[in-house]
């Protein structure tokens, strides 16, 4: 249910408490206008946070739908079995995974290699 209501800022001032309550429903938001032009949008804080998270994911993974299709294809063909495991990747970066018998992995301390001092 996406309900968009457009009202003037003047009218919104009179009804702000009712509007604040109404936007708590999923998909309900208000567009406030000034001189007939859209000026601001009011939505619930929960919905706003959801939009922000979605935008962050889209920014970090711009080709997400393409990546999902690629993974689906890899699962169907069995290609995924050749991919590195979480343990392989973590070991590559010097982390140790412990409690392998449990479903949840815990990351141990990172192994740090001693660097040789450079002579200048």
Q: Which residue has the tokens 């009011």?
A: 42
Q: What is the mean pLDDT of residues 48-69?
A: 91
Closest CA to 43 of 23, 63, 68: 23
Q: What are the extents of the domains in the chain?
A: 3-59, 63-106
Q: Does domain 3-59 have CATH number 3.40.1620.10?
A: yes
Determine how β-strand 106-107 pairs with β-strand 3-8: unpaired
Residue 67 clears pLDDT 70, i.e. is over it: yes
Query: pLDDT of 4-23, one tens digit each?
Result: 799 999 999 999 999 999 99
Q: What pLDDT score does 51 carry?
A: 93
Q: pTM to 2 decimals?
A: 0.53
| Per-residue tokens: 78 | 């069995």
């Amino acid at each position: 249910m996406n309900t968009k209501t457009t009202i003037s800022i003047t009218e919104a001032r009179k009804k702000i408490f009712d509007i604040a309550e109404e936007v708590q429903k999923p998909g309900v938001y208000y567009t406030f206008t000034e001189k007939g032009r859209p000026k601001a949008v009011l939505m619930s804080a929960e919905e706003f946070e959801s939009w922000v998270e979605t935008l962050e994911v889209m920014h970090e993974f711009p080709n997400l739908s393409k990546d999902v299709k690629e993974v689906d294809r890899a699962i169907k063909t069995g290609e995924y079995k050749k991919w590195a495991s979480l343990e392989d990747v973590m070991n590559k970066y010097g982390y140790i995974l412990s409690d392998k018998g449990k479903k949840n992995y815990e990351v141990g301390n990172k192994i740090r290699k001693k660097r040789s001092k450079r002579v200048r």
